[in-house]
Structure formats: C-alpha cells, structure tokens
Amino acid sequence: MNTVVRGLRGFATYMGSLMGADAYRKYLEHFEATGHSGPAMTEREFWRDRMDRQDSNPQGRCC
Amino acid sequence: MGKISDQSKLAEGLDPTLPPPAVEDSVREAEESRWTPAKIGLWIAISLLGAVAWFMLALVRGETVNAIWFVFAAVCTYLIGYRFYSKVIERYLLKPDDRRATPAEYKADGKDYVRTDRNVLFGHHFAAIAGAGPLVGPVIAAQMGYLPGTIWIIIGVVLAGAVQDYLVMFFSMRRGGRSLGQMAREELGVIGGTAALVATLLIMIIIVAILALVVVNALGESPWGVFSVGMTIPIALFMGVYLRFIRPGKVMEVSIIGFVLLMAAIIGGGAVAGTEWGAAFFHLDKVTIAWGIIIYGFIAAILPVWLLLAPRDYLSTFMKIGVIVMLALAIIVVRPEITVPAFSEFAGRENGPVFSGALFPFLFVTIACGALSGFHALISSGTTPKLIEKERQTRFIGYGGMLMESFVAIMALVAAISIDRGIYFAMNAPLALTGGTVESAAQWVNSLGLANVNITPDVLEQTAKDVGEESIISRSGGAPTLAVGLAHIMQQFIGGPGMMAFWYHFAIMFEALFILTAVDAGTRVARFMLQDSIGNFIPKFKEASWRPGAWLCTAIMVAAWGAVLIMGVTDPLGGINTLFPLFGIANQLLAAIALAVCLAITAKRGVFKWLWIVAVPLAFAAVVTITASFHKIFSPVPAVGYFANNQAFSKALADGKTEFGTAKTVAAMEAVVRNTMIQGVLSVIFVTLSIIVIVAALLATIKAIRAGGGQDNEDPPVPSKVYAPAGLFPTTAEKKLLAEWNALPVEKRTQKAGHH
C-alpha cells in the first residue's frame, strides 16, 4: 500500500515539475545560491513576471 | 581552432574542492564497451522480437494482422536505434563533454535558464514537439495501406527525424540556446540566413493554416464538437484568472480543475447537442467556423499570455500526456485485429481520393511529424537547450524525445486502420466524390473495387449514430477518422459501446486543443519574426511592447494564414486533398533547412568522416521535398500538378463550360483557378528558398572541408560545477559519481555562480 501511495505521489510530483509548478521554488533556490542584494520576488510577483515575460518572448508549440 | 587549449583550460578551471563534473572518459568507455552475457542476451532478445514483429507486418500475408506487432516492431527498432545509432552520433560526431557547463548552468537566471531534471525535461520537450501533426498525417497516409507508412515512421525517425532533433538541440545548446534562424545566419551568411528566415516564416503560415483546416473539418456541422471545443475558451479564461489573481502558481491544482471542467464540457456537449435549440445554435457550416477561428486567432494572439495561452497550454500538456499513456495502454490491452492490407490498391496509383500523388514522394511528405518534422528544429533550438543540465543528456532528450513522438504516430496509425476500410474512405474522400449522403457514399466506396470492402448505408448511418454525429461522410482531415478509431479501441477498454460518443468527442476535443494552442503560439512567434524583420528598416517595430506595431503584424500574419484557411475550406476539390501535401512539403523543407545548417556546422567542426550521418537524411529530405514540389509545379496530371489543374480549369472556363470535374458552378471553377495559382506560386517560393539555403550550406560545407575545418561559433567553454547522469537509468559509474556529489553538504552541491 505504501509503495502505491509513494508511486502516485512520485507521479504527481513528476507531472507538477513537467508543467512547471515548481518554477518558483527553483527561482528561490537560484536566488539564494547567488545572493542578490534586494529581496526575492514574492510568489505572486514571480508568476506575474513569468507570464508577462512570455508576452514578449513567445515559445512555439509544435504541430 | 584552439580546441586543445580550450580542453586544457577546461581541465584547469575545474573546482578541485568538488568531485569531477563528468565520469572519467576511460571509465565511461570501458563501461560502454563491456558486454556481459546478460546484456548480450537482452539485446539478442530485443533484436529477435523486433525481427519477428517486422516479419509479421511485412511478409506474412494473412487475412488480418494483430496491432501488437506494430508496437513490438516500433519499440524494438527504437531501442536498437537509440542504443546503437544515437551512440555513434554521440561518440563520433557530437562528442559532448560533461566537464563543460551548459547554458542552464553558466547563464543561470532562475527563469529562462534553469537546470532541469532530465526526466522532467524529457516530458517537457516531448509535450512541446508533439501535437496534432503525428496524429493526423499517418491517418491520411493510411490510404496506401499500413506498411509504407509504418516503415517510414519507424525507420525515418531513427535515421532522420531523431537525428535532426538531436543535432539541432546540441548545436543550439553549445551556442547558449540560439534559435535556428540565428544559427543559419551565422553559419551560412546573409543570403542563406535571410532565405532561411523567410522560408521559416512562410512555412509557419502554411502549417498554422492547415492545422486550422483540420479543426474546421472536424467541427463542421457537429454541434457537439462546436460546443465542447468552444467551451475550452471560457475554461481557459477562468484558469488564467485563477492563476493570476486567486491562487498564483498553483499549476497542478488549476490543471485538475480545468480537466474536470473539460470533461464536463464534453459530457454537456452531448446533452446540448441533443436539444433542439442546441442542435440549431451550434450547427455551424465550415465557412462560419473558419471565420470564427480567424477572429479567435487574432484576439488570442494579442491578449496577454496569462489570460488564454498559458492556461490552455497547461490543459493541453495535461491532456497530451494522459491521452498518450491511455492510448498505449488501450492498444496493448485490446490488441485490435487489423484488416487493412499492407499495400492498398492506391499504393501504385497517383489519384487516391484521400491525398493525391504517387507513393514516392507523397507518402513521405504526408507523414511529416512522427518521422521527420522540421518544425521541431524551432523547438529544439531556443527553449529546451536553455534548460538542459548536462551535455550528455541531449541524446536522451533530443533523440529519445523524437522516438517518443514517432511512437505516437504509430499509435495513431493503428487507431486509424483498426476501423473498417469502407468507413475510412467514406470519411476521408472529398464531398464531391462521396456525394454527402450515406447511400451515395456507400455506392461510391463500393465502386472503388477495394478488396474485402462492401459497405452498406446502414453501417455508415450506425457509425455516425454511435459517435453522436449526424453524419460521418467526408469528414476529411484525419482528426475525425482518428477519433472514430480511438473511440472504437477505447470503448473496448473502458465503458463499452455506450461510451463511443464520449470517446469520439474526447478525441476531437484534445486534437482541437493541441491545434488551437499551436495556432495561437504560431501566430505569436510569426508576429515576432515579422516585427523583427520590419524592425531592420523601421526600428520602432523592434519594440515588442509597441501596440500598433504588434497589432499590425499580428493582423498581417492572421490574414495570411486565414486566407489559406478560407481557400482550403471553400475549395471545390476538397481542401485537405490538395493542401495537405503542401503542409508536409513545407514541414520537411524546414527539416532540410535545419539539416543543411547542421551539415555546415558539422563540417566546420572538422569531423568529415561522419558527415554522412547528417548528409543522408538531408539528401533524402531534399530529394523527397524537391521532387514533390516539382510534381506539384510541373506535373501534367491535373490531380497532382497545381498549374496543370489551373490550366485545365482556365481552359474549361474559356470554352464557356459551366461545370468541370468536381466544380459544379462557374464560381467554383473560378475558385479552383485562383486556389491552384496561389498554391502553385507558394510551392515555387518554398522550393526556391529551400534550394538557396541548401546550396549555401553545401558551399559552406565544401569550404570547410577544403580548409580542414571552419570558424567555431560556439560559446567559450566554462567549467561545470554540477553533475547529473545522462540517461533514464544511471550506469554503475554514474551512480558512483552521483553518490560522491550527494555526499557533499547541500550548499556546495548547488552551483554558485557569482555573475550577478
């Protein structure tokens, strides 16, 4: 039973990272590792920034 | 070229306090060349199973063949291609070096350049390259029987498609994630680079237009489909607002909510289409739907990304992975018997009703995605290379990702050929041939004289009823046929015959979802390319945030693909029949361009002995597409040649005829004259541009061979401070090294770049 739960949880985590749900966590990791002067963006600011940057930097989707 | 000093500098620059960022070359090579009995046995078993499967498909001529053999033939061939051929490419041609940092490491910014776990990036890259293309092409190509398509999909991907994706990804990664257009300009000079850019832009327009045509054909006169696909727009808007204002960053949560709403929209669609007002309100003809998509395309491309594109992209990714896993499971569990012959009656002719033209070259352009897709070069350069963690992972992500897409194409083929051949032709032939009613369609199909095909109007009627549609006659474009095939397989897996209508509309829904995302994203990318090009003359256009410029360029792009779409929808000859080859030709000309750029880069790296790895697929793609273009331009057969058709109809008009061939009115005849002229001119432009690029690449290649190498445009090497294994399963040496890294304190493990 435990392995089933673990498997499902692993799959959910995988799907999450696949869709980019962990983008903020990775941003924070990077931010802490490099040590900026100002404070890091909040989660809300980060997602706003991420979406808005896509506006001027579109990524193709294939046929 | 300073290769040696680069290498030693790289070795000197490594951080001595960290474990090595790469498995020692000698250790890795020893590991790769060590063949244990278990390993030998495994590969013999894979080879044998693959050989048996190919034997069953290609040589045994029974009444039927089981679908499971398609799966085995494909998977075993992929495994062999991946393990041996891609390894050759890696070892002799690309020579990745894990001691070098990737752009995700040396340009890390936590946003665009982020080191991503290889398995996650594999899925990410796959979701970006796979769309409706591999689902539609094989269905249309099934006209010629199953074998030509199967061989081309499986062998083509191993020797051509996956090679292209892998090379482009690797070269782009070595150049900090530069796009194909930028690489073409750098390697081929101004003329070759400009031709590549213009060709890319035109090809994108054609591809978007024909993808949109597939959706229009699937939704025309289908109230259920129109309702449920239409509902994706408010669902996506809701998701966008949710993510922006209510719970930012909860991507999984909103995707699951979106998925549930989507299912509700499909089920609700059946109920709505069942009511009188619903059937009347959502019953739209193709021209109306085409205009709807054009207007939608414009609005979607100027709306902010967060509102519509991003949430639909989440939904589309979610559906993509789910559907593909489900379809694979269903095919393995259900194992349908295939009654379609290996080579059909149309394999040796060039006037097939589904697409026109002879097997060579037209089969090879009809199945583009899944075997060799130039569009992938645009994804493999740019986005994915900025996320790769280690150089050696490009084989798994680039080559392996494309193998996965090829497998999707094989499954689509299996789904399409699992339905009765009579139904297949009744669904895929243009209205002018089938006549539109079940009686006329059945009569026409039976008159084709196909072996073992004897269809009655009742069967066509019943199939339409099963899938919840008024009619399935002349639903060309591939998507409806795939949907019927998928519904046929899935109902045996889950739900039984009562669920067929649900599965049919589920399939239509996800195809429409993929395509609308591609239409929207394609329009945006094309708009930026246009803005950038105009910006060279009027600098103001380069500012992405300048609204009038952005709107004008969006309008131009939408008008361009919209015109082709309307042309396809109103074409008396049946838009798919004449336009789909143009789609394939465009896509593979782009592949030829990408491979030509790779050829020049490879030659400049000085590895002449292995140049054939690039030259073979390039030669094949060039021969296929240029031959196909020449057929389309010069063929005297009106069904094949655009200009021959144009002349035939012009002459008929001049002779004062009021109907000719499948065109029943003077207006229709004039439409044919206009359409064939546009299609012909487009073919001429495409092939000319591509020949310019290929010639420029060949010149650059010859120059490099004469000089013993050429200028290296790679970013300077930076020593890497991270480690991750290359493939899905780490090898013993990789595990050992990984353990060393994992033993480090956490703060030492994550790379500290002091560049901010």
Q: Write down the pLDDT at residue A51.
A: 87
Q: pLDDT confidence of B553, banded at 50, 70, 90?
A: very high
Question: Minimal Cα distance from B382: which residue of A?
Answer: A59
Give the Cα separation of B211 and B207 in Å (integer): 6
Contacts of B243 in chain A (CB under 8 A): 47
Q: Write down the pLDDT at residue B61.
A: 82
Lowest mean pLDDT among B7-11, B319-323, B422-426, B462-466: B7-11
Q: Tell which wins on pLDDT, B660 or B597.
A: B597
Counting residues of chain B whose pLDDT is more than 70, the rounded percentage is 98
Measured in Å, how far apart are chain A's first and last C-alpha atoms? 41
* φ, ψ for residue B337, nearest 5 deg: -85, 135
CB contact under 8 A, A30 and B114: yes
Residue reference for tokens 């509902």: B231
Out of A26, A36, A51, closest to residue B310 by CB: A51
Give the pLDDT mean for B462-471. 95
Q: Write down the pLDDT at residue B356.
A: 86
Q: Write down the pLDDT at residue B647.
A: 94
pLDDT at residue B752 is higher than 70: no
Which among B118, B135, B252, B408 is the top mutation candidate for probing chain A, defined by the most A β-carbons within 10 Å of its own β-carbon? Answer: B252
User: pLDDT per residue over B588-608, tens digit each?
Assistant: 999 999 999 999 999 999 999
DSSP string, B389-444: SSTTHHIIIIIHHHHHHHHHHHHHHHHHHTS-HHHHHHHHS-HHHH-SSHHHHHHH
Q: Write down the pLDDT at residue B49.
A: 98
Closest of A18, A55, A8, A13 to residue B317, by C-alpha: A18
Instruction: Evaluate the CA torsion angle B723, B728, B733, B738 in order and state its sign.
Output: positive
Kindly compute the dihedral angle of the four CA atoms of residues B415, B419, B422, B423, in this order, to the nearest 10 degrees. -80
Contacts of A46 in chain B (CB under 8 A): 248-249
Residue B207, both tokens: 């591809």
Helix and strand numbers, DSSP H then E, in chain B: 33, 2
Give the pLDDT mean for B77-92. 97
Q: pLDDT confidence of B756, banded at 50, 70, 90?
A: very low
Q: Write down the pLDDT at residue B610.
A: 96
Contacts of A18 in chain B (CB under 8 A): 120, 123-124, 127, 317, 321
CB atoms within 10 A of CB B208: 29
* φ, ψ for residue B719, nearest 5 deg: -65, 140
Which among B113, B207, B211, B251 is the top mutation candidate for probing chain A, defined by the most A β-carbons within 10 Å of its own β-carbon? Answer: B251
What is the CA B80 to chain-centroid distance, rounded?
23
DSSP 3-state helix, strand, coil percentages of chain B (rounded to 5)?
70, 0, 25
Give the pLDDT mean for B291-306. 94
Identity at B171, one-letter amino acid code: F
Give the pLDDT mean for B330-335. 94
Closest of B563, B564, B570, B562 to residue B296, by C-alpha: B562
Q: Write down the pLDDT at residue B5.
A: 54
Give the Cα separation of B124 and B265 in Å (integer): 27
